[in-house]
Amino acid sequence: MFLTVMTYMGYLLLFIGCFFLVVSAIGILRMPDLYNRLQAGTKASTLGAMCTIMGIGFLHPAWWVKCFLLSLFILMTNPLSSSVLARASLRSGVKPYKLVVNECERYLNEEKGDN
């Protein structure tokens, strides 16, 4: 009984994970510029990957601890890397799409003044 519940939980998590991975892929295709693409890509793919890995953990209880650790690593490093990508592209002058406000321009100019 317990094993059946675990199996169903595992498949459910796998399904949710796959759904969010697909959403992130669609997001990357549909969004207009790099920053919005990163937004869609990071969030959905982080939860997607975590859910998929945890689902595997539920299906193979012996791997549970490793899977948990893996998803924790993804949780820590994924947003970091997307932040770094966004920062690098901002500094190398990738133009954002139709901003409502932009507090960054002044700051980037200050940076240029410093150097």
- Choices 7-15, 52-60, 68-76 (CB under 8 A): range interacting with other proteins: 68-76
Interatomic CA distance for residues 58 and 52, integer angstroms: 10
- Residue 96 touches other proteins, criterion: CB under 8 A: yes
Q: What is the DSSP letter of 62?
A: G
- Choices 4-12, 52-60, 96-104 (CB under 8 A): range interacting with other proteins: 96-104
Q: ∠ CA 34-82-12 to the nearest 5 degrees?
A: 105
x-or-dash string of contact with other proteins, 19-48, rule CB under 8 A: xx--xx-xx--xxx--xx-xxx-xxx-xx-
Q: Which of 15, 66, 94, 109 binds other proteins (CB under 8 A)?
A: 66
Nearer to other proteins by Cβ, of 11 and 91: the residue is 91
Tokens of 19: 């759904």
- Amino acid in the structure at residue 45: S
Interatomic CA distance for residues 67 and 56, integer angstroms: 7
Q: Nearest Cα to 49, choosing from 31, 24, 27?
A: 24
Q: Give the residues lining the site for other proteins (CB under 8 A).
A: 19-20, 23-24, 26-27, 30-32, 35-36, 38-40, 42-44, 46-47, 65-66, 68-69, 75-76, 79-80, 82-83, 86-87, 90, 96-104, 107
